[in-house]
A and B are shown apart, each in its own frame.
Chain A
Amino acid sequence: METLTLDRLMEIMRECAGEEEGANAGGDIGDTEFAALGYDSLALLETAARIEREYQVRLGDETVTEAKTPGALLSLVNRTISEVV
């Protein structure tokens, strides 16, 4: 099963929840907190639902909202994908 990349994750987030103007001016996006990127818990749930459908994994709402950064969510998703495989 294909793993999720950071670029693809951010693309999904933009599609699901839009993009905050002025957020993420430089810096390592993977380690920037979702709140600083303008994404709230619903944006995260919306993104997670999309990832679950696209990658055919189950993430669980509680686990997902514990991820505070794109990097953390990425590891969670890819760990789950490898478990499925």
Chain B
Amino acid sequence: MTSTVVVTGMGVVAPTGIGVDEHWAATLRGTCAIDRVSRFDPTPYRSTLAAEVPGFVPEEHLPSRLIPQTDHMTRLALVAADQALQNADLDVPSLPEFGVGVVTASSAGGFDFGHRELEKLWSKGPEHVSAYQSFAWFYAVNTGQISIRHGLRGPSGVLVTEQAGGLDALAQARRQVRQGTRAMIGGGVDGSLCAWGWVAQQTGGRLSTAQAPDRAYLPFDAGACGQVPGEGGALLVLESADDARARGAEVYGALLGYAATFDPPPGSAGPSTLRRAAELALRDAGVEARDIDVVFADAAGLPDLDRAEAQTLAEVFGGCAVPVTAPKTMTGRLAAGGASLDVATALLAIRHGVIPPTVNVTRPLPDYRLDLVTRPRRATLSAALVLARGHGGFNAAMVVGRERR
């Protein structure tokens, strides 16, 4: 039997707040962080709404050496990693030299940083481009910076599977722990709320053009009209259950099961393989559908994708048979950060016995047959299924919950 991998630390930097406590409190209040973009002027664009991390002053969290060489999303990631290690109470220097690694997920890299340097390149010339552009734009940069900052020399890497990345990175970190790495940091913190990132996302055709923040991102609603991007995510510290117990660490819960599938090419006859991902994750966890107490949905906010996900849930669980929620209606979609934030939120939900709400959805489509949780709901929770779909055909599913002995 493969050893159980547990979460012993969490760091959250999200539109719902900086730090686990702030995030959880805002999530239970149902505070929607979607608003007009403030990081750049969105006036020329069709989409003008996003969810930003509020009140983030990098100098308050990071040494000045790191400021000139980091994109905004890397700074967010560094702070999340600091929090996660501190929360886990893990003393890295006391562990074997190659005993701790980091795996992050990314979607675009440091777009904001890259945007500014490219602007200098064409307006002023190459000698004005920062030497730090060499890595600050790169999608692997968060893993690198976290590794350097904390001296993590264990197996490390980066996964790029858009929104599925938050789960895929955690799964890869889990794999490393199972193969003997003493501890891993895994997850995603992402975001490219800059004009360049915005243009790139607009061409994808999925962004909501609604003007009212509470009408823009409405998964499973009759008025579903697109997605709203956000920034941030979560990083988790993973250890084997035995190691965590041996050092008396506080445990949030376990990563019980995981699977990833890839959709058939667009235009081909085959259906989405999301169902297969969900079923394989349940099997990997050794649980049945009836053992799942809540589903954190991918919640695309686009009618076709919402229907496909609702159908998957009805097929796996039966109609209205399991509570379904999408707290990302408060944070927007955090690219590679979203699913790892969902895992963190799911573990908090299990700990506190409360299912956080899906906000702004007032007209859930009845034929989706979902028990959609739109107000915080008290419940005894042992296991949650988190679903994530990345643009381009990536599906990932993860079962998290109380450690099973």
Contact = CB atoms under 8 A, between A and B. Distances in A.
B68 A21 contact: no
B127 A49 contact: yes
Contacts of B130: 46, 49
Interface stretch (B58-66, B151-159, B200-208, B322-330): B58-66
Contacts of A46: 68, 130-132
A30 interface: no
A45 B133 CA distance: 12
B65 A52 contact: no
A56 to B, nearest CB: 11
Given A16-B68, A42-B69, A46-B68, A21 B63 contact: yes
Interface string B61-103: 0011111110000000000000000000000000000000000
A52 B128 CA distance: 10
Interface in A21-42: 21, 38, 42
Nearest to A22: B63
A18 B63 contact: yes
B134 A20 contact: no
Contacts of A20: 63, 65
A48 B130 CA distance: 11
B149 to A, nearest CB: 13
A17 B65 contact: yes
A42 B66 contact: no
A49 B68 CA distance: 14
A15 B128 CA distance: 14
B127 A18 contact: no
A18 B65 contact: yes
A18 B66 contact: yes
A17 B68 contact: yes
A64 B65 CA distance: 20
Interface in B114-163: 127-128, 130-132, 134
A42 B132 contact: yes
A17 B63 contact: no
A52 B127 contact: yes
B65 A42 contact: no
A18 B132 CA distance: 13
Given A18-B66, A18-B67, A38-B65, A53 B132 contact: no
A49 B63 contact: no
Interface in A1-29: 14-21
B134 A53 contact: no
B131 A53 contact: no
A18 B68 contact: yes
Contacts of B64: 14, 18-19, 21
Given A20-B63, A42-B134, A53 B128 contact: yes
Given A42-B132, A42-B134, A46-B132, A17 B127 contact: no
B128 A17 contact: no
A45 B131 contact: yes
Contacts of B131: 42, 45-46, 49
A49 B69 CA distance: 15
A53 B131 CA distance: 14
B62 to A, nearest CB: 9
Contacts of A15: 68
Nearest to A18: B64
Contacts of B63: 18, 20-21
Contacts of A38: 65
Nearest to B125: A53
A30 B132 CA distance: 24
Nearest to A48: B131
A17 B130 CA distance: 10
Interface string B209-245: 0000000000000000000000000000000000000
28 contacts: A14-B64, A15-B68, A16-B68, A17-B65, A17-B68, A18-B64, A18-B65, A18-B67, A18-B68, A19-B64, A20-B63, A21-B63, A21-B64, A42-B69, A42-B131, A42-B132, A42-B134, A43-B65, A45-B131, A46-B68, A46-B130, A46-B131, A46-B132, A49-B127, A49-B128, A49-B131, A52-B127, A53-B128
Given A21-B63, A21-B64, A53-B128, 10 more contacts: A16-B68, A17-B69, A19-B64, A19-B65, A42-B132, A43-B65, A46-B132, A49-B128, A49-B130, A49-B131
The 3 closest A-B pairs by CB, nearest first: A18-B64, A18-B65, A45-B131
